[in-house]
A and B are shown apart, each in its own frame.
Chain A
Amino acid sequence: MAPKTRSPAPAHRETQPTAAQPGTSPQKQMVQSSPNKPPYPSYDYTSKGVRDTSINKLASSDYQALAVVTLIALFVRVFRIYQPTQVVFDEVHFGGFASKYIKGKFFMDVHPPLAKLLLTLAGWLAGFDGEFDFKDIGKDYLEPGVPYVAMRMLPAIFGVMTVSAMFLALKVAGCRTFTATMGALLVVFENGLLTQSRLILLDSPLVIFTAMTAVSWMSFTNQHELGPSKAFKPAWWFWLAFSGLCLGATASVKWVGLFTIAWVGSLTALQLWVLLGDTRNVTARIWFKHLFARIFCLIVIPIAFYMAMFAIHFVCLVNPGDGDGFMSSEFQSTLNTKSMADVPADVAFGARVSLRHHNTQGGYLHSHQHMYPEGSKQQQITLYPHKDDNNMWLLENTTQPINWAIDPSGNTTIPGPMAWDKLDPEFITDGSVLRLYHINSDRRLHSHDVRPPVTEADWQQEVSAYGYEGFEGDANDYFRVEIVKSLSHGAAAKERVRTIETKFRLVHIMTGCALFSHKVKLPDWGFEQQEVTCAKQGTLPNSIWYIEQNAHPMLKEDSDKVNYRNPGFLGKFWELQKVMWVTNAGLVESHAWDSRPPSWPILRRGINFWGAAHRQIYLIGNPIIWWSSTAAIGLYVAFKGLSVLRWQRSCNDYQHDTFRRFDYEIGMTALGWAFHYFPFFLMDRQLFLHHYFPALFFAIMALSQIYDFVMFRVGRFGEGTFSLRGVKHLPAVGMVAGTLFLALSIVVFALYAPLAYGNQWTKSQCQRVKLFESWDWDCDNFPATYEQYELASTFPGSGAAAATSQAEHGPPPPIAEDPSKDVFVTGGPVPPPGGSITEEKIEYRDENGNLLDAEQVAALQGAVSFSTRYETRTRLVDEHGNELLNEIVGEDAGGYAGTSADGVDPGTANAKGEGQGSAAPPRVGVKEDVRKEKAVNDARATAEPESEEVVRETGRDEL
């Protein structure tokens, strides 16, 4: 001990204890060695006033309480989980991803794979075969037999676990069992968390992993604060490692997990700093042991977990799919059927090549038999993502080769583009000037001083295919190859053009511009393919091309071959991260239901998830819980501000254990809230209310903790004459207050529950609880009385009416928990249950949707390729067996014909009217407009999937 202690006490002047930093819990004193030197800290890192709150030390009564709240949660979360029987909101995406996983089709999404893999697993275990595309909100699940209930059960179970996690988190934070129970029940009866965890969405997995991180991290913090005696003990290690694992899981669900990492990371930094100051217990060696333990558990484990998830992701997705277009050629070549046979390396005049654009994944330089409608009106040049004969170009020299065989004087040349086929290959080198001959259309790549079709910049000009068979061409067809040496691999590839290895620019000789392409799509006349221009000041990466296919008749079989380099797992992983980042940052377009962060804590607006048959699912929180949790955060901020001011004025607040613990414990939770809330302000991308949920979890926790302190722990508020005795000694007061608050929350929960469950509701009930205009669900959607729901199903016509939009509520599912409420049938004919009678029929249609008869089909057999599309249609049959045409029934369906015109009818055919109008002529007739308005009217308040959907490839060409 002796060498460790400082010089004897008299030499030190302990400065006023108030100089302790606010917010740090350990016992800290400042020591000053001489008056002309600043004081330095000296403390023991063991925190005063902390007891061991390990989960394994919970009393049996705690376990009972935990079991009860979990059971309540289970009931509340799973209640009528089959409802609605249609695709809701972002199930469009996440259900769709599940089907792609099952089929192994590569897709691109901005979120990491863990939650999607789990959802897929749930679906797969329940027998989902991937043959359902989750294309639109409102698409029926029942008839195709999608095991959507099993898939929804996964988020629901996570939702239930979140409740248990809240209970445990509060216990670990040192709260009373009563408080923990109350906090957990607040999570149960939070409408927003409930809504989100009943559907196939990512937020429930995100919240549970965030919550588990909180539980494990707070457990670890507790162990840490107990001081050196607990350090490096099994419990300490377990919770540290488990925190790391949970962090990895959180970040593998959504990148929002990075905020959780930031929370844990900043607290870790604080802990390490405190450890550094404890010169009595922590030697340098021990300190580094602490450091490396944390580096391993909180950095290495999460990264390994995160990468492992992507490894599984790549293992699952082995086939090409609609995500290919985002990835580099090297990446794509690792997918089945996209891998390419080795290609001859050397490129010579006369070679048939396909040219690929380097920077965008737009594809191959392409031309087809369609003209530009404006500009030069010559043949179009585009970038086309798929392999196709129209991508093939023949590289001609500017002069035709001399035919020595016929004319030894060298005055006769071999005409035509095939002139080089019989000659020894002459390699194309850096600086070679060539012409690109489009084999299918006998035209050459051409550029001239005409503005491009879409980009009207004066430094770019149009590129076209120009000429005819036998045309000799002109000087505007000449392009010079300029090899970009820094991007070309291998010494040979820097000197002459080699397939794949050489990256080069094609500079137009006459105008000096370089062949260029960028992420700009041509309009319908260009089949939405990517624009190609010739740019004088284009950025370098967008002006680079390389050769992917290469063939020359005179190249021997055994000539040098190349192929794409296999990027390997790390290469693929890193590329995917970059693409995800760019795509995520690019989601800036506004969305009808998006909202900005300032509106979240005050619950200004929700999200319309789904609506049909006079029911609606609208994401909105429980206002009582929501607002009071925000108030709790506000209260802490006010407390902190005041206490910092008082600290600077040397008031002795921090010497009180309860005061210090309150500041530290709530501070930790409030920091978690801040880390999950404020970073959103920096994001330009579209944001939604559900992005607040992780923060909401922390806010509810802070609310419960403050309640616990105020009711059960603080003995006295304030000092001196203004002091107020706490209710610490009257626990009954606290319990009554908590119970009353909880009861109020449950009542409010019940009031808004129909929007969460998609239950029946009446207009008047709806209007009574719609407190603000900005809560924009539509009350007109609901009938005046509940009887009308039954009427709707009893009235013969209206049963069909409901079915017009693809059997909106469908028949009562067999697993209904409370059949008396759910069955619509009280007499009269029953519409045939959708799933029970299925007829199958094969129809042949052409690309315009015209039905083809067998003769036509036979004629086309072999000439065209057929693609199969599955479609489910509901055929309505009246009691006499006559088929009812959907349209007719739709017109005069009784019941709520009125509401279908302006009600919420998303996902129905009506909604598609929006934006599909033909190219409107300048003069619009009234009727057209009225019709359009009506269509638009119907589409109002339509639920839309969050547009995290990746841009779909437009793979259409006019072959």
Chain B
Amino acid sequence: MAAQDATTSALDAHGDARKRHVAGQPNGTFVPVIPRVPDEKEKAKHKTTSLLQTLDDYEFIIAPLIFTALAFFTRMWKIGLSPIVTWDEAHFGKFGSHYLKREFYFDVHPPLGKMLVGLSGLLAGYNGSFEFKSGETYPEELNYTYMRVFNSAFGALCIPLAYFTAKELHFKRPTVWLITAMVLCENSYTTISRFILLDSMLLFFTFTTVFTWAKFHNQRHDPFSPEWGFWLMMSGLSIGCVCSVKWVGMFGTALVGLYTIEDLWNKFGNLRMPKVELAAHVGFRVVGLIILPLMVYMFSFWIHFLILENSGPGDAQMSSLFQANLRGTEVGKDSPLEIALGSRATLKNMGYGGGLLHSHVQTFPEGSQQQQITCYHHKDANNDWFFYPNRDEPLFDPEAPLKFVGNGDTLRFVHAQTGRNLHSHQVSAPVTKSDYEVSCYGNTTVGDTKDHWIIEVVDDAASSDYSKIRTLTTAFRLKHADLGCYLRAGNVNLPQWGFKQIETTCVKVNKPRDVYTHWNVESHWNEKLPPGDPGSYKSPFLRDFVHLNVAMMTSNNALVPDPDKQDDLASAPWQWPLLNVGLRMCSWDDETVKYFLLGNPLVYWGSTASLGIFVAMLAWYLIRWQRGYDELTWAQVDHFHYSGIYPVIGWVLHYLPFLAMARVTYVHHYYPALYFAILCAGFIVDWYTRALPKRVQWTLFSVLYAAVVGLYWLFRAISFGMEGPNQQWSHLRWLEGWKMADE
């Protein structure tokens, strides 16, 4: 065998022999990492008092101060130049107004960022009366500059965070400066931080998450020390905040989660660690990284519910009981408490974001072609139903004594507007083919037993007596008497012919805990009954919290673009790292101060290239390791692992999910991922310049600093506002998609 090898690849064998290292000898190709501490001590011994030396010694305070000052300047200079509502200020400013007016609204994002916007409005003395219509000029009394400054502070604070994070990741000083400069001189970060948007806050909390994670990681040799505990808790707090601003924060959480899993897995493999200690490690992390963030997240919702105590545009997304507790609502007002035959009522689906049982004169275009039944959030008279006795009983007599409805009763539901009965039959539902269709059919006399529904009470918040159905509090299911199926309204929307309302079907499978089959009475009218106050029962916070979150998720997924419509603002995720597309944030006429969302080309292209280089590098070292070249020391492997691989994982986590998302995406969705790409770029520069002579290093870094700052300066107008005709900037239109100037 050996002979064979020698003959087939003698050259290789020689090469191998040359490359193999003798144990104990340092690897010639790598300059070993010189520990920083003795280095500084050595310098101190020289006691040189030159200015340069002082600067060098106090770099850790001088540099961040300068960077922070520049950050505040770039983020806030001429911030009030454009007096019109720009881009998504229309949304977030409006949500801020809702907080000031304390009206309940519904949105797909968690509340923390929007509450901060509200806070800035409060501090600016704004009363919440402005509608924030896109492109409208701000009124005199609204100090929008103050609100923007408040927002931009978050964006500015990212820069010192980037500086300290880079330090915690053990990069060399020039690399630390490079990373900070890349964040500082990043046009897209600058632009997005200068308006009343959530992105500056999202970026800020993403930066704090990375920073606290790096801090915590550096405490690993001293577990359970106060400092260790402090940074663990800070990580948890930061994760909680970032998730409370936008759900994108979950990706940052996943990064810290992966780190924690790896960390614990290694500790699990350490046979010398006592089991109690291992359990303590697990326990601390559960508290710090799961319970604490969850508390922060829930706390933000708790405040949200506390502030928004008035009825507003978002009521319909919530449960009836929640609505009844809002001030100024119609729900539950003067409604009689218990339902009797002959009552008129609306039926609310108790599923997350569920609507009201609805019918209209339009018919199904297929199936039975009878009148449509849907579920719909909008409140109108087409949601009203009469509770009627079933066909085996005598006809409803308005003069007869009241008969209350309870668990197990068989009834009919008559649509108030058209007089038809809620009906189901063995026709496949229009979309969910495995369910039965539910339609509206016949009238009070025409019809059959397929109009019969049996009430099955699931739960009653007010009483354990199920013999009567109560407004708001009773959750019941409606079982079809003939078919045994249950009335259900899921999350499926009908096609255009059903006006995209929610499909309502009769589901064959009996799942008592499926909340989409649960219904309650929302509004109730019956002249013969005394008005009650069913809203006196409080809706439990936890239930509202879960309900709202599921509703948010549902509507977030529903933000699907119309495939036929050309959306100039939207972009595909593959375009982001290549920076081949920008975004016009406002109208493009000559009078408007124009802002164009586009990054610094060097930062984008450089960081994207560094990701590619990193993957190639990883493959290179892995293959070499597998071939038996142990060229890296543990210290280098650790540096590679925590300062290289983790940022790249962070990028992957913040970027790849967008590729899988069906919802409409915009360039600013890439910004959190960009930070990780910048860190990766720093890592690559740092890794490959370690072995270079000082002079070459400084030349290289100077060129990089100059290029980053120069390009930022070149593209400054798109961030600070373009006044006058857009043709002035046609020289910046390097690529087709950079539409800062019309062609």
Contacts and interface: CB of A to CB of B under 8 A. Distances in A.
Interface of A: 1, 3-4, 6-7, 11-12, 31-34, 36-42, 228, 273, 276-277, 279-281, 283-286, 454-457, 459, 516, 518, 523, 535, 537-540, 542, 589-592, 594, 645, 648-650, 774, 914-915, 917, 919-920, 922, 924-926, 929-930, 932-933, 936-937, 939-940
A539 B563 CA distance: 8
Interface stretch (B19-27, B130-138, B164-172): B19-27
B442 interface: yes
Given A38-B634, A283-B8, A929 B268 contact: no
B565 A937 contact: no
B431 interface: yes
B271 A926 contact: no
Contacts of A936: 368, 425-427
A518 B626 contact: no
A919 B369 contact: yes
Residue in B6, B509, B623, B627 with the greatest tally of chain A CB atoms within 10 Å: B627
Contacts of B426: 933, 936-937, 939-940
Residue in B265, B367, B427, B634 with the greatest tally of chain A CB atoms within 10 Å: B427
A37 B566 contact: no
Given A4-B6, A4-B16, A457-B562, A33 B431 contact: no
Given A1-B5, A518-B564, 12 more contacts: A11-B23, A38-B632, A40-B628, A277-B628, A281-B5, A457-B562, A537-B565, A537-B566, A540-B566, A589-B431, A650-B269, A922-B363
Interface string B530-564: 00000000000000000000000000000000111
29 contacts: A1-B1, A3-B14, A4-B13, A7-B20, A11-B23, A11-B24, A12-B23, A37-B630, A38-B637, A40-B626, A41-B626, A228-B1, A279-B627, A281-B5, A283-B5, A286-B9, A456-B496, A457-B565, A523-B365, A537-B567, A538-B566, A540-B566, A589-B433, A591-B434, A920-B370, A922-B371, A929-B448, A930-B448, A933-B425
B2 A920 contact: no
A228 B4 CA distance: 11
A210 B663 CA distance: 37
Contacts of A591: 433-434
A457 B567 CA distance: 14
A33 B563 CA distance: 60
A756 B16 CA distance: 64
Interface in B447-473: 447-448, 450
A279 B565 CA distance: 58
B23 A454 contact: no
Interface in B262-294: 265, 268-269, 271
A539 B425 contact: no
Contacts of A38: 625, 630, 632, 634, 637
A37 B8 contact: no
Contacts of A276: 623, 626-627
B371 A3 contact: no
Nearest to A533: B564
Interface string B481-519: 000000000000000100000000000010000000000
B626 A33 contact: no
Contacts of A523: 365
Contacts of A940: 426
B431 A590 contact: yes
B392 interface: no
A12 B369 CA distance: 82
A915 to B, nearest CB: 6
Given A37-B633, A920-B369, A926 B564 contact: no
Given A7-B23, A281-B5, A40 B370 contact: no
A222 B269 CA distance: 33
Contact of B6 (A3, A516, A518, A539): A3
Contact of A36 (B427, B447, B564, B634): B634
A277 B627 contact: yes
A738 B25 CA distance: 60
B572 interface: no
B628 A42 contact: yes
Contact of A922 (B5, B9, B361, B446): B361
A383 to B, nearest CB: 14
B57 interface: no
B635 A36 contact: yes
A592 B633 CA distance: 62
B620 to A, nearest CB: 13
A277 B1 CA distance: 17
A456 B6 CA distance: 78
Nearest to A774: B509
B366 interface: yes
B219 to A, nearest CB: 22
Given A42-B628, A920-B370, A590 B2 contact: no
Given A1-B2, A34-B24, A37-B633, A915 B627 contact: no
Contacts of A273: 626
B400 interface: no
B256 to A, nearest CB: 21
B2 A279 contact: no
A457 B564 CA distance: 10
Nearest to A523: B365
B13 A3 contact: yes
B442 A538 contact: no
Contacts of B21: 33
A279 B16 contact: yes
Contacts of A42: 628
Contacts of A4: 2, 5-6, 13, 16
Contact of A590 (B16, B434, B634): B434
B502 to A, nearest CB: 16
A924 B496 contact: no
Nearest to A930: B448
A33 B625 CA distance: 12
Given A285-B9, A456-B496, A929-B441, A538 B434 contact: no
Given A37-B630, A38-B630, A592 B625 contact: no
B16 A3 contact: yes
Interface in B78-99: none
Contact of A459 (B14, B442, B496, B565): B565
Nearest to B428: A592
Contacts of B271: 649-650
B742 interface: no
Contacts of B637: 38
Interface string B8-46: 110011101100111110000000000000000000000
A-B residue pairs, 10 tightest by C-beta = A1-B2, A920-B369, A283-B9, A11-B23, A648-B269, A33-B23, A590-B433, A3-B13, A277-B626, A3-B17
A284 B370 CA distance: 74
Contact of A917 (B23, B368, B565, B632): B368
Contacts of B496: 454-456
A175 B633 CA distance: 45
A11 B366 CA distance: 81
Interface string B351-369: 0000000000101011111
A12 B628 CA distance: 13
A421 B496 CA distance: 46
Contact of B363 (A3, A281, A537, A920): A920
A24 to B, nearest CB: 12
B564 A538 contact: yes
B565 A925 contact: no
A40 to B, nearest CB: 5
B444 interface: no
Given A3-B14, A454-B496, A926-B448, A40 B433 contact: no
B689 interface: no
Contact of B22 (A11, A648, A919, A939): A11
B520 to A, nearest CB: 28
Nearest to A644: B265
A917 B269 CA distance: 69
B432 interface: yes
